[in-house]
Structure 1
Amino acid sequence: MKERIERLKKLTNIPHKEIVWLIEQAELAVKQREIIEENKRQQEVTVHQFRQAQKDIQHLSGDRKRYKQALEKIITNLNFAITVAQNELEGDVK
């Protein structure tokens, strides 16, 4: 695109106003293309971050499930220990 701009600058048979307008349009097109490319790049980064966040959530959900199961086992063991201790106390009281 920049080569075309330079060629337009060298043309002499086109009125100056039209050359200026064409150059401005070409430069605008180049800027728009750069903006579109940057937006695509940012979109790719965002998609990558989103997918990584999904993986993290799945991992944390798995951890949560394992912690919950471990906590349930601890509670069961504590309830059993309390029951045993209560039975021993009742045996000592009688």
Structure 2
Amino acid sequence: MKERIERLKKLTYIPQNEIAWLIEQAELCVKQQEIIEENKRQQEVTVHQFRQAQKDIQHLSGDRKRYKQALEKIITNLNFAITVAQNELEGDVK
């Protein structure tokens, strides 16, 4: 392709079929540029979505930790209440 372009630069008259080839190449370049720009845009969207997902995971991990701690406190309190109730029942039975 480079050789063909260099050869065309040296010509004073460019044949119609060569002009058609140049137009075709220019159109291909435009299409390729559009594809590259769309790919960049999609990449930016994907990066943004990935970063948002990371933030969501961090947030959910924090929520999970708080819920786990709260549940452990509830279980401890329930175990204490069960022990107290068992002791009271044993005291009533004696």
Instruction: Give the alignment's TM-score, normalised by structure 2.
Output: 0.87
Unaligned runs of 5+ in 2: none
Q: Which runs of 4+ in 1 moved over 3 A?
A: 1-12
Unaligned runs of 5+ in 1: none
Question: What is the CA deviation profile of residues 15-63 of structure 1, one whole-angstrom value per residue up to 9, with x for unaligned ones?
Answer: 0000000000011001100100000000000000000000000000000
Structure 1 vs Structure 2 CA RMSD: 4.9
Residue 13 of structure 1 deviates from its aligned partner by: 2.5
Structure 1 residues 74, 68: closer, same or farther in 2, change over 3 A?
Answer: same
Structure 1 Cα separation of the partners of residues 2 and 27 of structure 2 = 8
Structure 1 Cα separation of the partners of residues 2 and 45 of structure 2 = 28
Instruction: Give the alignment's TM-score, normalised by structure 1.
Output: 0.87
Q: Report how many aligned residue pairs link the two structures.
A: 94
